[in-house]
Amino acid sequence: MTRRITLTLSICLINLIATAQQLHFTVSMEQPANHYFHVELRCSAIKDTATDFKMPVWTPGYYQRMDYAKNVEHFTVKNAAGDTIPWHMSAGNTWHISHQKQAAFTISYDVKTVRLFVGTPYIDEERAFIRPAGVFIHPAGRINLPATVQIKPYTGWNNVATGLDSVPGRSFTYTASNFDVLYDSPFLIGNLEELPAFTVRGISHRFIGYELGDFDRQAFMNDLKKIITTATDLIGDIPYKHYTFLSISPRGMGGIEQLNSTAISFSGESQNDTASRIRALNFLAHEYFHHYNVKRIRPIELGPFDYDNGSRTNQLWVSEGLSVYYEYLIVKRAGLSTEEDLLNAFTGNIKAFEKGIGKRYQSLQQASYETWSDGPFGRKDDKENKTISYYDKGPVVGMLFDFTIRQKTNNKKSLDDVMRTLYKEYYQKKQRGFTEEELRQVITKIAGDPLTELFDYVYTTKELDYTKYLGYAGLSMDTSTYKITRLPNPTSLQKKIVSSWLGE
């Protein structure tokens, strides 16, 4: 069934002085059963006689073209007198509007919603989820404008959850310093449940969701606090003022990371079984760690974003693959999984990679760049699948880098030091992403060695030498089952490496 929501969006002021320009959105949901956003955008004091308004074709964190504008209907523009003024589509996601200089005009349009998914807006009679890139348009070239958003929940709905800061004294009203922040801050609206909040380093962390299920809520939040404490201890800094987990549905396990929130599908029922509990905690650790690794520790191509075409990078093996690597380690170091759980997780990645024919055809770098056409997990519908997933090979190569750095430095340095250095040097000091060469330089400096063969594992299809690199940590792998176990008689250095790696 096509879904509709009603949304009112208004720009209060766009004037000649850039610092005074503001955009104000009002989102209402008067008839959720109609399943449409209705958008009204009031514009005034624009100095030009024509303005382009754009809707992103994708949302950062999900590297697939979504073409959100295809769901925009009934687009009209009227002046202050109510007369229709001309406009036309100048591109698939761009509306070109001709208007008088400094004149006020109003844009109206509907946005239909179809799919309950963290990457798309959605409304039904039970809850609304606003994926901002699929709802809000922006004046072209003015992505740095601040914006406020007022949410008017449907009658009987009492909760709005988002990572945006609230505007003091204004009910359900939030502010974003620019459109990058707005597009990175989804909203969940409805009769939601909030679990017991906690603080880490004095910072509040919340978990809010729809139909969370039957489980021990306090025990779960205690586990989540351990995960966040372990992750923040690894990097040594918390860059946000508050953090919110938004659970939009109990079905599926999809998630998209944001600057200070994450939109996920989560069921508390997962906490009632040991295996599913570990999978869920790994998943949450992954999405949380992304606020460091990709939002702040990021390839240079991932910001400023190209909202019209998508932002391609060769380094998703770092942003996604190493986030998988650290999800396992964080949960283990937090005391929430066992050594066997951890090693079995890597066995699963190795098996998935090694059993695929794609390992002979596509490098890790190519998988990163081609994800826009291949999909995040590689192509699955080919007669002969010649792709790989950076979600599988990425964490495995990350493990080999980690063990090698530890071995080269007598366990004085590790991949953790690489992540901390990237965070401090590029996010905190230079306030930008890193290039491929800069990543290589950081790793080389910390390891004291260029690690040429390991970078070959990134840029070529060279076969991985598991015996050599796992051996650095006193581990071995059964080549028939891919099961990883400890060597029977490890050296002193091997013992130190595996012990510190596990967080013991």
SS3 letters across 210-224 = CCCCCCCHHHHHHHH
Q: Per-residue pLDDT for 12 more than 50?
A: no
Look at residue 4 in the predicted model and tell me its pLDDT.
47
**Which neighbouring-strand residues pair with 25?**
9, 149
- Considering the entire predicted model, what is its pTM? 0.94
CB-CB contact of 138 with 179 (8 Å): yes
Cα distances (angstroms) measured from residue 336 to each of 222, 281, 483? 11, 8, 21
Map tokens 């104000």 to a residue. 24
Mean pLDDT of 334-346: 98
Q: Report how far residue 133's alpha carbon sits from residue 328's, in angstroms, rounded to the nearest whole number.
A: 31
> What does the pLDDT look like over 49-81, one tens digit per residue?
898 999 999 999 999 999 999 999 999 999 999
- Examine residue 121 and say whether the peptide bond preceding it is cis (omega within 30 degrees of 0): no
Look at residue 247 in the predicted model and tell me its pLDDT.
98
How would residue 97 be classed by pLDDT, with cut points 50, 70 and 90? very high
CA angle 216, 252, 306 (to 5 degrees): 120
How would residue 380 be classed by pLDDT, with cut points 50, 70 and 90? low
Task: Give one DSSP letter per residue of 334-373, joined into a string.
Answer: TTSS-HHHHHHHHHHHHHHHHTSGGGGT--HHHHHHTHHH
How would residue 14 be classed by pLDDT, with cut points 50, 70 and 90? very low
How would residue 16 be classed by pLDDT, with cut points 50, 70 and 90? very low
Look at residue 21 in the predicted model and tell me its pLDDT.
53
**134: Cα within 13 Å, side-chain hemisphere:** 31
Look at residue 45 in the predicted model and tell me its pLDDT.
66
Mean pLDDT of 196-210: 98
Look at residue 109 in the predicted model and tell me its pLDDT.
86
Of 74-88, 187-201, 231-245, minimum mean pLDDT range: 74-88
CB-CB contact of 51 with 105 (8 Å): no
CB-CB contact of 312 with 369 (8 Å): yes
Domains of the chain: 3-187 (2.60.40.3650), 193-289 (1.10.390.10), 316-502 (1.10.390.10)
Higher pLDDT, 384 or 269: 269
Percentage of the chain beyond pLDDT 90 is 83
> What does the pLDDT look like over 454-465, one tens digit per residue?
999 999 999 999
> What does the pLDDT look like over 271-292, one tens digit per residue?
999 999 999 999 999 999 999 9
Please name the residues in contact with 432: beta carbons below 8 A apart, sequence gap of 6 or more: 300, 303, 426
Mean pLDDT of 164-186: 96
